[in-house]
Chains A and B, each alone.
Chain A
Amino acid sequence: MSLPKKYRLIFVALWFLPVLLLVLHLHTGTTPFSLQHILLNGIREGGIARDIMLYFRLPKAITCVLAGASLGLGGLLMQTLFRNAMAGPDMLGLSAGASLTVSLALITGVQALPGVAGASAGMAASASAGAALVFVVMMAAARKIRDNTALLIVGLMVSAAASSVVGVIQYYGRAADLQAFVVWTMGSVGSTQWNEIIVIAVCLVMAYAVVYRHIKDLNAWLLGDNYAENLGVNLVRSRFWVVAATSLLTGAVTAFCGPIAFVGVAVPHLVRLAFPLSDHKIMVPAVMLGGSALLLMCDLLARLPGETHILPLNAVTSLVGAPVVIWMVVRSKKIRM
């Protein structure tokens, strides 16, 4: 199953899209300068241009690329595993778990750092802890439960339980903490440090390695459990690895960027607009590229309203993504995976 000829050009274009958006992204900001200028002079000379580039724009752009790829891949994995078009990487309850620990940290004042909420290392640490906690629960569930739908329900219930605790915490929370929490839930790619980016990158590479090794299993999942097992897939083991990969992807992104909604659900659908295919050999790289492109674009749009104001990222991802997905669903009569 190789890429049909008519899609080859689109696939090449899909490689250029994130690159193009990345360059555009690096150019956008309150301080105008060209990439050429930065490449030729900035890094070598140092100074403000270098600092803006190295410590602000580049990390932000790279975060968009990595987080977008992670969420797109996570979304694809969940949609394949659960054979459900509406599944997303947050289906496993990791985002909800992260929300729980972040709200707890805010309320108890554990995250000591003041200032921009998302920038706090304490927030990232508590989000990681929450995601990791749910991760352990879900891995245990994935080993115990044979049925994928049951696993989906466990994920949703874990999310619901975590959300209700978050609700209680909010109910008793102070206004300032609530504000900080709400800002965190809006998602942000602008507050990641280089070392955090490395963590996201390592998680992405590890997850990709797992996925690459399980391409055959993922394809077989499309036919359902019985056929997959008949074709030689070890259901329990292969699901364990897919859940592990998705948890890594979602956990890392949520820890450092907050719960970025929608990208994971939308990207596989948007990519299928260009490639109406199911083969994971093609879909996996395609959703990673598409995810990067979508998040770069959303972050660009978030800055459009003015030179100084920035829209919350989650507002933009949903605003951009929702109409596109609605249009797609209405246009193509069948809901497809």
Chain B
Amino acid sequence: MAATVVLQADTVDLGYPRQLPLFESLSLAMKSGDLVCLMGPNGVGKSTLIRTLAQLHPPSKGRILWGFRGTPALVLTDRVSAPHLSVRELVTYGRYPHVDWHLRLRPEDEDIINQSLDQVGISDLSNKKLFEISDGQLQLAMIARALAQQSPLIILDEPTAHLDLNNRVKIMTLLKSLAHERGKAILLASHELDLALQMADVVWLATPHGQVKTGMPEQLVLNGAFDELFPLKGFNLKTGRVEHHPHRNLRIAVHGQSYTHLWTRSALARWGYQLDEDAPLTLLVTEQGGWAINNELFTDLTQLYQYLDQYASSSSPAR
């Protein structure tokens, strides 16, 4: 499908009156079908940027342009404190910009509500009250509400905060399919580095110096933009792993294949052993998923841990 510009900001300043601007001469654009992830350290002004792009807050200079009629659909961090609402009623709110002042729902409104519930996969929850559902389900309901608004642009502020991994992946996958299959332009602010890096088409990286760096997530990782912004100690972004300090002073060479090999390396590193291909001490991951070391065979990771623990403390530091 031909991508149309959905959101555009040309040299916009934004911030609050009588304060230094949070961002200066910002130029951003989104096309339909884009999944954009806005990232940045806490307090850098992500929420203000989101609110400004949603035109809930005026920019101090310049204009935000939407390439469509109506308003973008929002999923914010604001708590919805109406527990007597049913999921269906919540989704009905999405139709508010389209219905008259007395809230008469036309048959097509009802259809859209049903479709939205369906797309998000919560049709079976539609009669549940908001206090009866989990945080993850509530977030899905909020997304269904946003869908019912039928806006080409959906803006979400930390939609996966406080959710477990299942729900995080579920929501990110849903957003991705909405962007790629239904041509929605989706902007989400998120702290989920790992998910964002794998799902987003474009990352907007908000810096404390009032800029937003844009690019494909891989580009920003490789050119060091992420490292600059998140000077992560003990986490290697390029490998995506936490760095462990090998305090045991014992070098081990690990051989083998499969997942077990990967996770064994991870366990050894976490326990403080130094992984070294050329080490005299070799640990072999067997095809049955066990571990062979010094002619001993282990089938249980705890036993391996205890054996290595003893071995390391009995051997001299020189090894």
Residues of A with Cβ closer than 8 Å to B?
1, 83, 213, 215-216, 219-220, 222-227, 229-232, 272, 276-279, 281, 334, 336-337
Residues of B within 8 Å of A337, CB to CB, are 81-84
Name 24 A/B residue pairs within 8 A (Cβ), A-sorted: A1-B89, A215-B101, A216-B96, A216-B99, A220-B93, A220-B96, A223-B80, A223-B82, A223-B93, A224-B80, A224-B81, A227-B80, A227-B93, A230-B54, A230-B56, A230-B71, A231-B71, A231-B93, A232-B96, A272-B84, A276-B84, A281-B103, A334-B131, A337-B82
Contact of A219 with B131 in the complex, beta carbons under 8 Å = no
Q: What residue of chain B has the Cβ atom nearest to residue A223's Cβ? A: B80
Q: What residue of chain A has the Cβ atom nearest to residue B151's Cβ? A: A230
Alpha-carbon distance A213/B102, docked complex (angstroms): 7
Contact of B79 with A232 in the complex, beta carbons under 8 Å = no
Alpha-carbon distance A49/B85, docked complex (angstroms): 50
Alpha-carbon distance A277/B86, docked complex (angstroms): 8
Contact of A224 with B97 in the complex, beta carbons under 8 Å = no
Contact of A336 with B131 in the complex, beta carbons under 8 Å = yes
Residues of B with Cβ closer than 8 Å to A?
51, 54, 56, 71-74, 76, 78-85, 89, 92-93, 96-97, 99, 101-103, 105, 129, 131
Residues of B within 8 Å of A277, CB to CB, are 84
Q: What residue of chain A has the Cβ atom nearest to residue B157's Cβ? A: A226
Residues of A within 8 Å of B82, CB to CB, are 222-223, 278, 336-337
Alpha-carbon distance A215/B72, docked complex (angstroms): 23
Residues of A within 8 Å of B81, CB to CB, are 83, 222, 224, 337
CB distance from A270 to the nearest CB of B (A): 14
Alpha-carbon distance A276/B103, docked complex (angstroms): 20
Contact of A1 with B92 in the complex, beta carbons under 8 Å = yes
Contact of A222 with B96 in the complex, beta carbons under 8 Å = no
Residues of B within 8 Å of A336, CB to CB, are 82-84, 131
Contact of B78 with A1 in the complex, beta carbons under 8 Å = no
Alpha-carbon distance A225/B93, docked complex (angstroms): 14
Residues of A within 8 Å of B85, CB to CB, are 222, 278
Alpha-carbon distance A253/B289, docked complex (angstroms): 80
Residues of B within 8 Å of A229, CB to CB, are 56
Residues of A within 8 Å of B93, CB to CB, are 219-220, 223, 227, 231
Alpha-carbon distance A220/B84, docked complex (angstroms): 14
CB distance from B93 to the nearest CB of A (A): 6
Contact of A227 with B89 in the complex, beta carbons under 8 Å = no
Residues of A within 8 Å of B71, CB to CB, are 230-232
